[in-house]
Each structure stands twice: as C-alpha cells, then as structure tokens.
Amino acid sequence: MFGGPDSHLARLVDEAGLETKSIPGNRMGLAVNGKVVASGAPETYPLRLPLSPAARLSFIKSGLKLRWAAQGFQRAARRQIGESASAARARELAYRENETFADYLGVMHPEVEAIFRAIAERITAEPHEITAGCGAGLFAVVWDSNLTLARNLIGGSALLPLTLARHLGSRIVTGAAVEEVVPEPTGARIRVRVAGRVRDVSAKYVIAATPAYVTHRIVRGLPADTADALARIPYGPFVCGAVLTGESGPMPWDDVYAIATPGKAFNMLFNHANVLRGSGPREPGGSLMVYGGGDLGRRLLQMTDGQIQEAFLRDLSTILPEVKDVVREVIVHRWEHAIPYIAPGRHRLQPALERSLGNVLLAGDYLGFPEMEVAAVTGLEAARTARGGLAPVEGAQSRVLERVQP
C-alpha cells in the first residue's frame, strides 16, 4: 500500500506524475469455516463468524488485547514535532519488543490461533518469530484510517519504478550485477558484471539500497557491529499467485480489498482492483492476488508451479465461487527471502545500522517497520546526504529532495 498526501512516497508518486487512490471499504476481511465476513467493524467479527462458543470467547479476549496494542503502536508510529526520522524508526522498532506476538496473545483456541497465524504470515513470519509490536503494527493499519498505509497506485505498484527508470533514461544501467563495494579514502569502488564482463566503477558515494543480506555480502570493510546487524535481519518466504480475471460486469468481491484465509493454501487474498470500483461504469476484467508466507510459504516452495496454481485456484474458488468461470491467467512467483520482519531484540541493532559509514549509505525497508514508506524515506535521506557532499551540477533538478527532513 502507498502513503497518503503527507508521506514521502506520495510526494515521489506525484513527482512521477502518477496517481494513488484511497482503498475503499474494509481493508481486512476473514474467511473462516466456509463464511466470508468482509464488511462492518472488525470488532464485530467474533460475533458474525461461525465459531464455537469457546472460540468466540477466545477471539474476543485476544481481539481486545490486540486492539490495545495496536493503539499503542499507532502512538509510537506518529513522528513528533522536531523529531528526526531515525529517532521515530527506533521508537517504533522498540515498541513491545521484549516479547513475541504469540506470547503477548497468550493461549488461544486453535481456530483463533489459525486466524492470527494467517495474518502474521503476511509479514513472512510466524507469531512466535515476531515481536508483539510488529504484530500490533500489522493490525494498526486495519483500525487507523489516519496512518499512511491506506492507498493503492493506479496501474499497479510496478508502475512507479518503471516510470522513475523512464525519467532517468540512460543514467539507469540494468543487468549489471554488483559483486562488491569497496570503500576508499575518497569514495568507493564498485565491481560490477555486465554481459559476462567484469568492470570497476569509481564513485564518490554509494547508496546500498539492497536487502540487508545482500548489503552484508557485497559491501566490504563495514564496522563489525554493522556487518553483524545486517546479517541478523531475518527474512521470510513468499509464494504469490497473480490471477487475471475476465469478467464482463460487477462481481461479489468488488468492494473487498483483503481477506485473511486461515487453513487455505494461501494466507491472504487481495483484490487490488477494488480502488477502481467506485462510482461510474464498472470496467471489465480484474486482478486478484494470493500468497503464502512464513511456514506455509516454505511448504509451497517445495511444490511445482503447477501444483501451487492448482492449490491456489481450488481454495480461491471455495472463498469466491464465481471466480471459477472468469480466471484467464495465473502467474506464480517465489521469493525465498521476501521481506524482513521484526524479531525480538531487533531494536538493539538499530544504532549500528543508522551510524555513519562514510561514503557508503544504507537504505531499505529493513531499517524500520518493513513497508514502502521506510524504503522511500531512507532512500531520500541517503540521497540528501550524498548530494550534500557533491559539488553542484549545473542544471540538476531535484524537487523531492528539498522536502526531506533529516
């Protein structure tokens, strides 16, 4: 999801001439025991889902605890006046970091435990692997419409990097695998492999906007604590299925954005086209996406694409029966190391990651609560630092960087 008007990501989208729209309707439905509940207040779900009395009571107790923690996360996530972005990231990471999400929720009815597991695996980890604060953050988006994560990009998320690449033109070199980054007294040397040939490139600054484990592998000469911190950022797997649909008119899921699906071949179901289903004629076709993360993702990685596609479509049709007649294409994609998650003790790594590393600058979603806004902000911070150390270039323009606050 993309940020609202006050987010750095939104400003970048505006600079690129693209458009985001608020996600309408409910952002988190549930499919449990054959029934889909995807409307109304989430607090009513325990009363509306087909659960046993024991499971219903367990869900209510756990939901109340989670609501309390989510409200605390919302307060921790809001940047204070005059506060640096790095200080805000550190506070957010430290929120309820001394216990796991599973420990915080406590013993639950198995049906309820499966619900929370499915949603936790949205961040590629199990409830016992993430902090209570991380788990609360996953639900804060559902309850707080004022948080930045509330919009989708018209045309799909991939449109942003494609548009930025087009604007940058020949300054972007693709197909160039970086083998190492070696800091030097006046800059850094980058060894790259292009079309099978190795060459060295010199730079005054290097912005390492790569996953933590890649940065750890390619950047030489890092301080020991920074190298150790990068190596200790955990990543979990995702197996995704993109489903192209060819319906000619309205469908029952048009006003649904996301559904958690415990006990299915995937954890979550998304209807990314729902931002287009407002007033006016309903355009034909659509796009659904499902994925399995965490332990489920690891099991899916052992299957063939054909087996995954079959399992995804089978369970998708049990949740949205009308989808069977409109599926036109399914694409399966695998990520063994998809996104980082916040494990207990993560906040203690932050000083080593935020410290000055000279002419090598770190950027990425792993530097805070893992989402695109953190990637955008840390990238802009790094660019601002690099630009401040370079001689002015005649004719250079950068409107976005002027808005970055240190």
CB 183 within 8 A of CB 358: yes
Instruction: Name beta bridge partners: 177.
Output: 193
Tell me the CATH class for 236-340: alpha beta
Of 191-205, 346-360, 379-393, minimum mean pLDDT range: 379-393
Query: 6-46 pLDDT, tens per residue?
Result: 788 888 888 889 988 887 766 789 999 999 999 888 889 99
For the domain 173-233+343-371, what is the CATH superfamily, name and number? FAD/NAD(P)-binding domain (3.50.50.60)
Q: What average pLDDT does the segment 145-152 reach?
A: 61
Query: 190-219 pLDDT, tens per residue?
Result: 999 998 999 999 999 999 999 999 999 999
- 218 vs 215: CA distance, rounded Å: 5
CB 375 within 8 A of CB 364: yes
Phi then psi for residue 374, to 5 deg, are -65, -40
Amino acid identity for residue 377 in this structure:
V
Long-range contacts of 219-225 (CB under 8 A, 24+ apart): 219/180, 219/181, 219/183, 219/360, 220/180, 220/181, 220/182, 220/183, 221/182, 221/183, 222/357, 222/360, 223/352, 223/355, 223/357, 225/351, 225/352
Task: Report residue 4's pLDDT band, with 50, 70 and 90 as the boundaries.
Answer: confident
Tell me whether strands 206-208 and 20-22 are parallel, antiparallel or unpaired.
Answer: unpaired
Mean of per-residue pLDDT scores for the chain: 90
- 86 vs 406: CA distance, rounded Å: 8
- 388 vs 318: CA distance, rounded Å: 56
Q: How many CB atoms lie within 10 A of CB 404?
A: 20
Q: Say whether pTM exceeds 0.85.
A: yes
- 63 vs 106: CA distance, rounded Å: 12
Q: What average pLDDT does the segment 280-294 reach?
A: 92
Q: What average pLDDT does the segment 249-253 reach?
A: 92
- Residue boundaries of the structural domains of the chain: 24-149, 173-233+343-371, 236-340
- 199 vs 190: CA distance, rounded Å: 8
